[in-house]
Structure 1
Amino acid sequence: MKEKPIRVLIVDDHEVVRMGLRTLLSHKPGLEVVGEARSAKVIMLTSYADEEAVLASIVAGASGYLLKQVRGQTLVEAIQTVARGNSLLDPSVTDKVLERVRKMGMGSADEGLAMLSEREQRILTLIAKGKTNKEIAKEVFLSDKTVKNCVSSILSKLNLTRRSAAAAYLATRASKGGATEPKGS
């Protein structure tokens, strides 16, 4: 009985690296390069609903986290949401993660969070919940444009380039026991 090859997807932003890896790996027995991409967005689809798994996924760079019992249409919408550059969490795990964050209280001062205004901290928390700019605007009673500007400011102050990285930043603070909620929320 012939053993199935290990299937490999190469993801790197440099074409020459992708080409080199494909050449190297395609000549190795037991390996099959099934595709390559400049970048990838990852949605974790799992049975695990504990906050540790969620936090680990976010820190590892996942843009989304869904439980396997999700409906097909919801999964399709999640893929489209992540493809647009947004992040998301399954509502049932969002509640667990937020509850853990709330229980941690206000830890020691953090340089990154200290640079953010209370409004920006509130918006960062909503980003971590997977809210879109439009949803954030509605919740904090600001225009979409103002929220977009705030998100840009947050990313700049934290030296980040993506919303998912901002969510991971907040999740990392939570996993280390740091403050993640702005004063007065």
Structure 2
Amino acid sequence: MTIKVLLVDDHAVVRLGLNTLLSDEREIIIVGEAANADQAMKLVDLLKPDVVILDIQIPGKNGIEVCKSIVSQYPNSKVVMLTSHTSDEFITQAIRAGASGYVLKQVGNEELLRAIKAAYAGEMAFDTQSTTQMVKTYKKMEKEAEDSIFADISQRELQVMVLVAEGQSNKEIGKKLNLSEITIRNYVSNILSKLNFRNRIDIARFAIQHHLEEKVD
């Protein structure tokens, strides 16, 4: 197995360092180097590399745009972003652009080698720091998404949902909350409409999955 690698970075010293590192690997051969976006696209077309090591900031198009172009036009060439940026925004953009890996320049050589081999095998690989950042970002997005779901649901509706999950009827819920059965029926109808649910089973499932009993005052 020989992995053909193209290096794309506008700093000659970085390309030299990568060349030195990767030249010791029997499974890897450096087929070319590029210092900007135009050179990169021409060499990808000419050399058909298996893996492109791409800096996220290069002259011409930025690395994210170059990544998109490579992935869409040359699907057999996998892209591993090599950068000094730890921002979750850059990591997210790289993933959306189709990158198979995201490795920080300041991490150990083994991380880069692992990412290259993983990309070649059709897998995704990120260094430890980037992975930690992605997990934090995912959890943040998950919380924001959950908060947006509950933004339009009142405390009274949450109470009704919890009691529906307990299997109580509208009449029983009304007695517990000192409200009429008709009022409870209206609450249930509003909940179904707001959350695009079909029936009380959907309400019960949602209440259990999201631990609504903990959100009720």
Structure index of larger Rg: 2
Shorter chain as denominator, the TM-score bin is 0.3 to 0.5
Greater helix share, structure number: 2
Higher relative contact order (CA 8 A, sep 6+): 1
